[in-house]
């Protein structure tokens, strides 16, 4: 004769409660799209992850105008300190660097932040081996720019390498009035998109008619394609 021991009802109630709770949590998580928090990585591990995903050089965009082609690259140099991290504008034919800006790491180093397209630029400084660094250093030594950043400064910058210099002056000189002269409209858009130019009361871009003289352009505020605030 076989004797079967009956389990208490509380046992089945407990099992039912566990299953119900699990199903409830599953459906709530899916309904609200709740995700587990990402693991915070060290700078070194984060940059190694970026390089393993995109390589040390990553082409972001290409623009051809007037028979010349330019590419924007994000460059991550693998070294002891992984510096500098740069966004560069390069002439595709001559390989000359036309503009260079340092990249800043995202504030949170997690796997979902590895897309360098979304990283902010460092507007406060340049890498020391760049043309922009040399130009600003020369401007400071010659007193074209005052060492006192509270000093008003009226600045005209010409050419496609102007974006990062404009960003630097706008960042440090709060009473500056900056004008970028770029004769090709498509390149003006390109600079704004990829070098994070912040247009506003103190910074505007002129795209002039090539037949006009510079003096006439500067007097005619209507020549601004991206006007400063009135």
In sequence order, the β-bridge partners of residue 101 are: 87
Is residue 187 in a domain? yes
> Residue 5 has what pLDDT?
46
> Residue 131 has what pLDDT?
85
Which domain does 175 fall in, by range?
A: 43-107+119-226
Is residue 138 in a domain? yes
Is residue 4 in a domain? no
Mean pLDDT of the residues in the chain: 79
Triad 163, 164, 170: Cα angle to 5°: 90
Quickly state the pLDDT bin for 66 (edges 50, 70, 90).
Answer: confident
Range scoring the smallest mean pLDDT among 91-100, 156-165, 187-196: 156-165
**Beta carbons within 10 angstroms of residue 127's beta carbon:** 17
Is residue 68 in a domain? yes
Q: What is the spatial order of strands in the sheet that 203-206 belongs to?
A: 153-158, 176-181, 203-206, 224-226
> Residue 154 has what pLDDT?
87
Which residue is listed with tokens 């309904």?
31
Task: Work out the average pLDDT over 164-174.
Answer: 91
Q: What total of structural domains would you count in the chain?
A: 1
Per-residue pLDDT at 186 exceeds 90: no
Contact criterion met (CB below 8 Å) for 108 and 123: no
């Amino acid at each position: 004769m076989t004797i079967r021991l009956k389990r208490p009802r509380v046992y089945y109630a407990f099992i039912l409660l566990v299953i119900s709770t699990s199903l409830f949590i599953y459906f709530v998580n899916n309904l609200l799209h709740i995700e587990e928090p990402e693991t915070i990585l060290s700078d070194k591990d984060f940059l190694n992850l970026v390089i393993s995903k995109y390589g040390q050089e990553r082409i972001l965009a290409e623009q051809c105008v007037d028979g010349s082609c330019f590419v924007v690259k994000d460059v991550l140099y693998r070294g002891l300190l992984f510096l500098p991290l740069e966004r560069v504008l390069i002439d595709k034919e001559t390989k000359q660097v036309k503009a260079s800006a340092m990249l800043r790491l995202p504030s949170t180093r997690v796997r979902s932040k590895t897309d360098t397209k979304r990283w902010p630029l460092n507007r406060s400084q340049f890498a020391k081996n760049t043309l922009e660094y040399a130009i600003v250093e020369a401007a400071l030594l010659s007193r074209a720019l005052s060492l006192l950043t509270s000093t008003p400064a009226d600045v005209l910058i010409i050419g496609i390498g102007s974006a990062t210099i404009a960003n630097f002056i706008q960042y440090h000189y709060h009473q500056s009035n900056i004008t970028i002269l770029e004769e090709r409209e498509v390149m003006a858009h390109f600079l704004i998109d990829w070098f994070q130019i912040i247009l506003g009361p103190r910074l505007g871009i002129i795209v002039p008619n090539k037949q006009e003289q510079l003096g006439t352009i500067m007097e005619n505020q209507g020549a601004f394609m991206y006007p400063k605030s009135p």
